[in-house]
A and B are shown apart, each in its own frame.
Chain A
Amino acid sequence: MTKVFSNSKSIDDKVRKNVFNFDRIFKWIAAGAAAYILAIIILMVIEVARGGEPALTRFGFDFLTGTDWNPVEGREVYGALPYILGTLVTAAIAMVIGVPISIGVAMYLSEMASKNIRTPLSFIVELLAAVPSVIYGLWGLFVFRSYMKDFIEVPLSNSLGFIPIFSGRPFGLDVLTAGVILAIMIIPTVSAVSREVMMAVPNAQREAAYAIGATKWEVFRHAVVPYARSGLFGASILGLGRAVGETMAVTMVIGNAVGAAALPTSLLQPGQTMASIIANEFNEADPFSLHPAALIAIGLVLFIVAMAINVAATLMVSRMVKTKGSIE
């Protein structure tokens, strides 16, 4: 009797010991996986900073404010301002057009659509998010461009051409087209996430609003949006991240001007983004010049801009959760 008891106790100990060991190993594996991400980011920053260092030390602050971009031997000057502005302007256009449409899509899917429509439509929206960007680019270059030109840009230029941002003769490959293509590209992502966020709003919220006689719009406006606000904001930032970093589609439709000609002074003129100039010029950049270093330095700036957007967004989301998390 005692023998059996002591035996069972020792087995118990063994098992516990094993479990304990495995748990510790598992913890280290998980920590390693997390450390890997951190290590990648740190290495990336170090490597990009090191690669871009020759151009940054040579041009200093002028690299950020300069508008000339001249890789010709003996006349090398690199200024990234047109591309920084190009990135910000195209992303802004994408947000202005894309986010309201995305939230509209999400609202329809989560609040109004019947189950029969909701499931296939949600599936299609998610499917769109998986379309490779080069496809959007090709479609933009060969199809969408001429519609943009004939139905949007030419009327804009004819009626509002006196405003500087709509000046110049439109031909469809420009900052506006790039922004609209980006808007189309971020809609699936933003609307899919927004829909999830809205679906997560407890039904009690809606029912309470309906109970006091609210219309559909009022329910949406006063019961769903306040509850889902931080999530919707996060979804938009996800879209912004994509818009800032998108390379292939933008390169194909933005018109790829260089230097001062790329300053986005008019939406109907060709421009250039940070991602697109790297994609365009890195391949044949003369390894004996500062050209590759300047392009890598642009990569660093892009990295910092993307990081800044994300950090700012996180801060705003957390502040919003604190102050406006509940119903107004």
Chain B
Amino acid sequence: MNARSEIYRGIAFAVILSTIVAMTVTPALAQAGDDVSIAMKHKKKVTLIAVKNTGDEPIYGFKIKFMDSTIKFAKAKGWDREKVDTSAIMVKTSDKPLSPGKSLLVILIVDNKDAPYAWSALNAAGKEIATGGTMQITETQPITQQPQPEPKQEEKTSKFQPTQLSSAVTLNGAGATFPFPLIDKWRVEYAKVNEKVSINYQSIGSGGGVKQFIAKTIDFGASDAPLTEDQFKMLKNPIHYPETIGAVTVTYNLPGLDGKPIGSGLKLTSEMVADIFLNKLKKWNDVRIATLNPEALLPDEEIIVVHRSDGSGTTFVFTDYLSTVSKEWNDKVGTGKAVEWPTGIGAAGNEGVAGVVRQTTYAVGYVELAYATQTGMSVAALENQEGEFILPSLESTKTAASNAATTLPKPWEDWSKVSIVDAPGKGSYPIASFTYLLLYTNFGEISGMTQEKGQALVDFLYWVITDGQRFSSTLEYVPLPDGVVEMNIEALKKLNFNGTPFNIPG
């Protein structure tokens, strides 16, 4: 009896183990078992394509075209299919893209499985980002996506050579939570560029980052807001090193009179945005909104304002915008990471605001661009200085940053008054902000710094604003415009270790 139960246990264990192995080693094949058997039952010719995303961008779809065959059926787990014509098919998804490094099994049922075919990978916008050319396929043949970096980026990639280090170093940073996903991506990617350097970044909040930077316990700080004038003077010319750009969107949940949600693009002037958050503009069908948006079926409902309840760089940027465009806002409320909101519901975090807006009809709130894009929320087109109504996007934010870049101080000057909200110029989206890395000009001031460690930090900083920028857009951060990159390189040349400058790579 005992021996038998041992055997049963052994069998069970083996089954579980093999299932786990099968799931981890060949996830796509194991999951697709059912589909294959269905296909066999129908006596069609089946071909399986295992696709691995070796690029940097998530893939939202594949277009597959056969030369001498007709596609009867196609399937990929969790994806939709769309027949283009008898020989071409599209499998695509709106919410479960194939992330970089992940694999997916596409099952096709075709008349002639030996027929040559061509395929291409599509991004979220439906644009082709990689093609597989024409080739033969056999069952379960893995195909790798050829990354097609833009030529300009390739040029930059080839230039960068990190300085050889004699021993491993750890670079410590702390501060803002907003750029954390991007800095974390850089941490992972930079380890591939120079395995001797490890980056340790703690997202403790901008305030904490500045505090630690002043205490000189970290190698670099990070903050969404520039140092204040007093802090700047006290620290004797610290450097503001913009590493990426964020945008804040005004998002709403607004069913129209016909019951259908009013999508992105409701036009709002800056004065109207300020009045909504001041609780002066109270109804969605207010004559001011209605005049500007004659096509929208605006309901006769009160506007419910949603704001952040926690202190946040997003709030800082948004209130900076409101203070810039509205005198009344500036007098009554002002700019800060947490302010005395005249009205509205508070929710914690971007995801909190996004969640409350989505659950509450007639609500309006503000969230970072990434959250609005990822959750597909409706966003307002805001009026810029030129009188244009601009939808938030990576491009319009980058335009704003480029247009504002001409008036920026040098990185070693006082940035306390810098703000790129309500940027001038055509196509500028008005709520954008740099987020900064904070550096000492003389690295010798930081405890535990050496010439070699300083060089490793300079290498990393250079990589961040050049090669590192290509990770921005996949994570919905705005890449730095060229003017800012050049300015940053100038700043790198000023850095020194007790008077000895560093080599600037590239």
Residues on A facing B (Cβ under 8 Å): 68-75, 141-142, 145-146, 169, 171-173, 251-252, 255-261, 270, 272, 276, 280-281, 283-288, 291
Q: Which residue of B has the minimal Cβ distance to A272?
A: B346
A-B pairs with CB below 8 Å: how many? Answer: 107
- Interface contact A270-B311, CB-CB below 8 Å: no
Having A171-B360, A270-B346, A286-B207, one finds 19 other A-B pairs with CB under 8 Å, namely A69-B340, A70-B334, A71-B336, A169-B304, A171-B304, A173-B345, A256-B345, A256-B348, A257-B343, A257-B346, A259-B340, A270-B345, A280-B309, A280-B348, A284-B206, A284-B207, A284-B337, A285-B338, A291-B338
A-B contact pairs, 30 of them (CB 8 A): A68-B340, A71-B311, A71-B339, A72-B336, A74-B334, A141-B355, A142-B359, A169-B302, A171-B360, A172-B360, A173-B345, A251-B309, A251-B348, A256-B346, A257-B341, A257-B346, A258-B338, A261-B342, A261-B343, A261-B344, A270-B346, A276-B309, A281-B309, A284-B206, A285-B207, A285-B311, A286-B207, A287-B207, A288-B211, A288-B231
- 10 closest Cβ pairs, A-B complex: A284-B311, A256-B346, A256-B309, A72-B334, A72-B336, A259-B340, A255-B345, A280-B309, A284-B205, A70-B340
Count B-side interface residues using an 8 Å CB cutoff.
Answer: 35
- Interface contact A281-B340, CB-CB below 8 Å: no
Q: Give chain A residues whose Cβ lies under 8 Å from the Cβ of B461.
A: none
- Interface contact A73-B336, CB-CB below 8 Å: yes
Q: Is the interface of B mostly helix, strand, loop or mixed?
A: loop
In the complex, how many angstroms separate the beta carbon of A103 from the nearest chain B beta carbon?
Answer: 34
- Interface contact A258-B360, CB-CB below 8 Å: no
Q: How far is the CA of A139 from the CA of B103 in the complex (A)?
A: 35
- Interface contact B345-A171, CB-CB below 8 Å: yes
Q: How far is the CA of A318 from the CA of B355 in the complex (A)?
A: 48
Q: Is the interface of A mostly helix, strand, loop or mixed?
A: loop
- Interface contact A280-B205, CB-CB below 8 Å: no
Q: Which residue of A has the minimal Cβ distance to B176?
A: A284
- Assuming the contacts A281-B310, A287-B211, asked whether A71 and B348 have C-beta atoms less than 8 A apart, the reply is no
Residue with the highest number of chain B CB atoms closer than 10 Å, among A146, A276, A286, A288: A286
Q: How far is the CA of A71 from the CA of B207 in the complex (A)?
A: 13
In the complex, how many angstroms separate the beta carbon of A32 from the nearest chain B beta carbon?
Answer: 36
Instruction: Judge whether B290 is part of the interface by a CB distance below 8 angstroms.
Output: no
- Assuming the contacts A69-B340, A71-B339, asked whether A280 and B346 have C-beta atoms less than 8 A apart, the reply is yes
Q: Give chain B residues whose Cβ lies under 8 Å from the Cβ of A142.
A: 355, 359
Q: How far is the CA of A284 from the CA of B309 in the complex (A)?
A: 11
Q: Give chain B residues whose Cβ lies under 8 Å from the Cβ of A284.
A: 205-207, 310-312, 337-338
Q: Give chain A residues whose Cβ lies under 8 Å from the Cβ of B340.
A: 68-72, 258-261
Q: Give chain A residues whose Cβ lies under 8 Å from the Cβ of B299.
A: none
Q: Give chain A residues whose Cβ lies under 8 Å from the Cβ of B228.
A: 73, 288
Instruction: Judge whether B347 is part of the interface by a CB distance below 8 angstroms.
Output: yes
Q: Give chain B residues whose Cβ lies under 8 Å from the Cβ of A261.
A: 340-344
Which of B231, B338, B345 is close to A71, meaning CB atoms less than 8 Å apart?
B338
Instruction: Judge whether B333 is part of the interface by a CB distance below 8 angstroms.
Output: yes
B residues 143-157 in Cβ contact with A at 8 Å? none
Q: How far is the CA of A70 from the CA of B333 in the complex (A)?
A: 8
Instruction: Judge whether B505 is part of the interface by a CB distance below 8 angstroms.
Output: no
Q: How far is the CA of A142 from the CA of B208 in the complex (A)?
A: 32
Which of A171, A256, A258, A272 is close to B347, meaning CB atoms less than 8 Å apart?
A256
Q: How far is the CA of A180 from the CA of B207 in the complex (A)?
A: 36
